[in-house]
Amino acid sequence: MINYKITNLRTNKSYFLNEEETANFFVKNKAQNYDIINLTKVKRIRRNKILNNVQLICFFALTILTTILIIEKYY
């Protein structure tokens, strides 16, 4: 289920709604008065950034450990 954060641009009041509630909300209200943020997408992007950083740290650690192993084995 996709979650949204909808902020009224005039009053800065925030609403946290799912897909069905969002559709019903915009039946009653005009979309141009609101800022819509897809929280599910934001959460996915944040998690992907964290996983990307973990991946880079593991790659650098592997490179350093491999270099140390080669140095110990051949010198």
Per the structure, how many domains does the chain have?
A: 1
Per-residue pLDDT of the chain (75 residues; tens, 9 = 90+): 899 999 999 999 999 999 999 999 999 888 889 999 999 999 999 999 999 999 999 999 999 999 999 999 988
Helix (H) or strand (E) holding 3: strand 3-8
pLDDT digits (tens, 9 = 90+) for 48-65: 999 999 999 999 999 999
Q: Which residue segment(s) compose the domain that 26 sits in?
A: 3-74
Residue 35's beta-bridge partner residues? Answer: 7
Check residue 7 and give its pLDDT. Answer: 95
Whole-model pTM: value is 0.72
